[in-house]
Structure 1
């Protein structure tokens, strides 16, 4: 840290008493400690209070910015850079302790010296010399709605209508725990007095709080990428600008997401947003770094921070409409719900751009519905056909490059219909065969499949959550004699082939009544298939037997409906699609070194192993090297006289290479893509090299 930073170990209560005001800047995240973390802190305090041999209990650091390095004074509020969660939680605990002590008989209100309710409040919670209720009155000020709730707790006033749940709940939890019969409050007081922190004070005229903030390894909850981004955007601004940016843009984003969704999904939103505006997919752990790069690029173009945050705000509202069920249009909301049900997060970069065009008038509502339906069909058909999904991120991040926005729907149809190889749109035959023959009981999107089939053609929708899944042919391996006779002499094989297929699955509210009953009993029992109001059970009431033929026939009927629900786009007859350009006209014969026995034999072993990594891996012969990729090259091979020179497309520092086979070629001239080079000879351990190649493959497919 810079030499202007002062760090000292101090008791937390002394820090609170000495610094008359700590302020959490608006750019800090909301208070987020859960009951589990509060319970852990309380356990630590009580353990320290019980142990006479323990003089102190370390609980992390408090980093705060001062105007200068003078001693803390009442005139200078201290901006907390790190440690606000800990500081807030201890403040809530002190307030709860004071409240509990207030309710005790007068002679019991000071369980340990200097720990009466009045002394607790005046030393650690409020500045009694200041006007009651003013900002200066409170020793700790939080941000946004957390502030009003904490003020109400400390000031003992009515909480606001939109109070902070975390602040209120944690205060109540402390109060309930402290008020339990037999609780040794003196033990709690002694433990509080033993809490020790590292007090780190920064000089705002010399230190860079953002750099120090990024480098902190806090013992509290880990900062999310969104936390870092918010601080990066707001920390360097003047206080007045901070308030404008926070109140006009950032706070509305937080409100749209709500606290639970903000904590869980805001990072995902930023990743999708950056994919749209940059055309590159940030890695999950480097969203913050990618955001800084994008922010710097905009700054170099002369754009303001406000324009950046304003853009984010727009995309955030669109993301909430698509991903968090905020859409008000009923049909659009249902279409987005279908995408969420089939877990199609990979389409959000495309969907954000589509929704932006919808909002600005480039794409009308019905066309948006049509495109969302096509994309849903594409994702769902591939899932049913068990097509690997590792290429979909790249597919949808670059999708709009193929769209002619003057003929939006037709160009999307053409693009989807024209996808080839591992990206192709499953045909009707492939989709039907998979629906009829695959195990659909273990299918992750089973509920969506059954819900859509049940509601096919309905105006009055049925909620399938009220029903359970029924195997018409029972799951019990010890089938009754009636079932064995019905299935025929090869009943064991029939059961193995058809038990979990679509034709044998339905919905019922009478699962426990059906049990392992023979088919005709399930059909005729009260509430049986004859009486079922569900469309999935239509036709079952007229059958006399349930065997492989009946199972296949029902599956074919349902598959025909599925083709209408999830149709395959047809290329419009009048849409002129350009001929696909061949990726390469080169072949293995254009690499003379591969005509020699040793390099060729080594190459054949290597290529067979690499192509076996995944059916999505393709091989392309180029003029100077051979490329292996899914959506992006992960390893390139330059054939040489006595070796194969490999280039791995991943950062050198991220490669785990215990044998030291690789060298860093970052910034050096070479054929191929990437920063890692490996020479593979007949004497090199091929298995070890393939392990390194797999790392590059996983690095690229994880994007």
Structure 2
């Protein structure tokens, strides 16, 4: 076996034919894969002149044949990319036409030199031969017909659309810079066995393996060996990744979130990392990049505990709590802070300031957990915080970052207040699954805050249920009527949990409360000892315990309450209220959160309600999380965990507010109890525009009468250019510059084209649309985009601020282009 780095297009030089054997898999790339390749080609084409793009490997073995004829190579691995590039070349040839020429390429040159072997027999004419049906669709596509139903015909159709709306010169330049490692097998090696070992296990390269290959590929052997042994293996060691790549995958994802400010998932870590490296110029010195990753892995290992403790005791105490809590969402931001403190030129970010800032992050995360807020919503806020500029010279490091966290108070990821914490302690499930780990960390922190150096060692303690996990007959008699219902509601809540030693816990078991009181009385742990003051363990005792734990939590994780007009407006914007039977009234800001909380209340009221609310219909029923884990997509529906009942999920989004309200009422009927819902009915677009004005100050020219999905700002200059804003798509927001000229002209198109290129240069931190040419002809620019869930009003605060900020940036681009900027 021998490997050679080579230009992808050079593989198709000369009289050669690549044949996909029948034991290979069929072509299977879809639109996302092809679009990603085209985006990669465009990205690498606009990078520096020496930039290249690693396109994976092409593993082949020779087919014996007489000398002087077409060389045939069987494809073991790499056929998906080889086929897609060939299809793209065919589409580019069509786009060039009979007389066209770009970058030295013509239609005939592509056909004769890269796609076919002119003058050879039919079976040797094409440089690529696929399997059976794939082969027929590929050849028909070369002849201009792509009407088949298979994956290859679909690829031809997708590629033609993408090429037609792309800059063909950029694609050709990108293809010229595309590199692969060509691996040729000897005739004594078994290609099918190798293919099966690569693919039959269903274990493709992980994201970190791809990054490692990209970093090392093309370097001289000696340098490659040095980086692998002294840097990459060091990364794996610091991250505890000796037997699995998952820690390294997670590390790279979090580095990427910090560096880009975007919440890309684990499965896109390699693509995102490579694009960031190219766009930021880091790819020009991959040796330095690898060494810096090793340095960052040492800091990240302090977050995970795999690289040992931090050298400062105060910093380590805050890091330990974050580790023990088991909620890792903070890591991109915390890594950035550790990196700042690690830099010699960072003034004011010493250990004291670092510890204070990390304590604020610990308070934020802990209060989110205690208040039973979905921490998944923090992903975006954490990434954006990590990516933004730090304090100015002379500013207090800790106060700068704590102030930035306080500014989130009007959003769904703001630090919960004491009332929210108390309600969460009263109702959230704190035992079972990951909740057990978090509850143990919280209880241990409360214990250590009280006893300090005299606190018992954590490894000698366990979480103990006051009311046992399984009721005995004595407990049923003590609890009286409704014992089972009370047990179902309170068993796993924080107020029913405490800390005890291993031996004590196993000895108490399901003893009656009177016997447990005597054991609690002798406990060295204050909050366990305080339980002995209760005569019996009933609803009143549990409520007193809620109040005690709330007080302790507020002392350990203090956070100033700072109501503001914006926050008051946000609360008044809450249009939903609900109650079950004669219970207290609950206010909600979003219809989806109301559906989730009503469901949670019904399950807490009677565990048997989970059966009453279940059913076959995915969109309207409660389902076990074992079937649809939270965050997964069932069809087109994203399932959400029921608060406090993470073993159950449902899809909480409905078409409109009345549908959500009726859904809650019907759930009550199914459970034999009345659910009362009140809400202010309004169209979502109109309600959102009002929210934008109240919460973010509106956009230039916004009127109280705005209610449609598309609106336009006031004119930014004398020519009448405006910013268009579209909020009607349930999954995507977008803004763009709209020409003030209603009549199409070359001058208008050229002006929009200049705006689009300016947007690409100045707003590269945002998700941007494409099709500059087509949009320019229509009198508009490419779009500045942002994903959102329109029906989840919890996203409205962030979306409103984003619209306001991006609208101002687009207005600035218009003014600067006209020479009217300041």
- TM-score norm. by structure 1 comes to 0.53
For 1:381-420, what aligned pairs fall within 5 Å after superposition?
Answer: 381-400=367-386, 401=388, 403-405=390-392, 406-419=395-408, 420=410
Among 249, 261, 285, the alignment partner of 2:267 is 285
Q: Which residue of 2 aligns with 1:621?
A: 689
Cα deviation, residue 374, structure 1: 0.9
String of CA shifts for 1:158-181, please: whole Å, max 9, x gaps: xxxxxxxxxxxxxxxxxxxxxxxx
String of CA shifts for 1:230-252, please: whole Å, max 9, x gaps: 11111112223323433443232
Distance 1:62 1:513, change over 3 A: same
Among 536, 542, 555, the alignment partner of 2:546 is 555
What secondary structure sits across from 2:453 in the alignment? coil
String of CA shifts for 1:427-455, please: whole Å, max 9, x gaps: 01211232234333344522212222232
* Counterpart-to-counterpart distance in 1, 2:727 and 2:416: 37
String of CA shifts for 1:482-529, please: whole Å, max 9, x gaps: 7645x56665665455443333222333344434433222233xxx22
Whether 1:428 and 2:409 are equivalent positions in the alignment is: no
* Counterpart-to-counterpart distance in 2, 1:386 and 1:337: 22
Distance 1:624 1:646, change over 3 A: farther
Q: Which residue of 2 aligns with 1:340?
A: 323
Cα deviation, residue 381, structure 1: 0.9
Contact 1:416/1:569 (CA < 8 Å) preserved in 2? no
For 1:431-470, what aligned pairs fall within 5 Å after superposition?
Answer: 431-442=421-432, 443-444=435-436, 445-456=438-449, 457-470=451-464
* Counterpart-to-counterpart distance in 1, 2:509 and 2:230: 59
* Counterpart-to-counterpart distance in 2, 1:466 and 1:529: 16
Distance 1:431 1:238, change over 3 A: same
* Counterpart-to-counterpart distance in 2, 1:235 and 1:522: 65
Higher-RCO chain (CA-CA 8 Å, sequence separation at least 6): 1
String of CA shifts for 1:276-303, please: whole Å, max 9, x gaps: 223333332221111221232244x894
What secondary structure sits across from 1:507 in the alignment? strand
String of CA shifts for 1:321-343, please: whole Å, max 9, x gaps: 22234234244333222212223
- TM-score norm. by structure 2 comes to 0.46
For 1:125-524, what aligned pairs fall within 5 Å after superposition?
Answer: 208-210=179-181, 218-220=199-201, 221-260=203-242, 263-299=245-281, 303-326=284-307, 327-329=309-311, 330-361=313-344, 362=346, 363-400=349-386, 401=388, 403-405=390-392, 406-419=395-408, 420-442=410-432, 443-444=435-436, 445-456=438-449, 457-477=451-471, 479-480=473-474, 484-485=477-478, 487=479, 494-495=486-487, 497-508=489-500, 509-524=503-518
String of CA shifts for 1:209-258, please: whole Å, max 9, x gaps: 44889xx8633542111111111111112223323433443232233234
Q: Which residue of 2 aligns with 1:631?
A: none
Contact 1:647/1:673 (CA < 8 Å) preserved in 2? no
Contact 2:208/2:249 (CA < 8 Å) preserved in 1? yes
Cα deviation, residue 265, structure 1: 0.8
Distance 1:549 1:280, change over 3 A: closer
Structure 1 residue runs without a partner (length 5+): 11-60, 72-80, 84-205, 572-576, 584-604, 628-635, 652-663, 678-689
* Counterpart-to-counterpart distance in 2, 1:382 and 1:260: 33
Contact 1:234/1:242 (CA < 8 Å) preserved in 2? yes
* Structure 1, 445-454 or 398-407: larger mean CA deviation: 398-407
Cα deviation, residue 375, structure 1: 0.6
Q: Give aligned pairs, total.
A: 445
Whether 1:649 and 2:727 are equivalent positions in the alignment is: no
* Counterpart-to-counterpart distance in 1, 2:19 and 2:727: 58
Distance 1:433 1:212, change over 3 A: farther
Contact 2:300/2:335 (CA < 8 Å) preserved in 1? yes
Contact 1:471/1:499 (CA < 8 Å) preserved in 2? yes
Cα deviation, residue 62, structure 1: 11
String of CA shifts for 1:70-125, please: whole Å, max 9, x gaps: x9xxxxxxxxx989xxxxxxxxxxxxxxxxxxxxxxxxxxxxxxxxxxxxxxxxxx
Cα deviation, residue 266, structure 1: 0.5
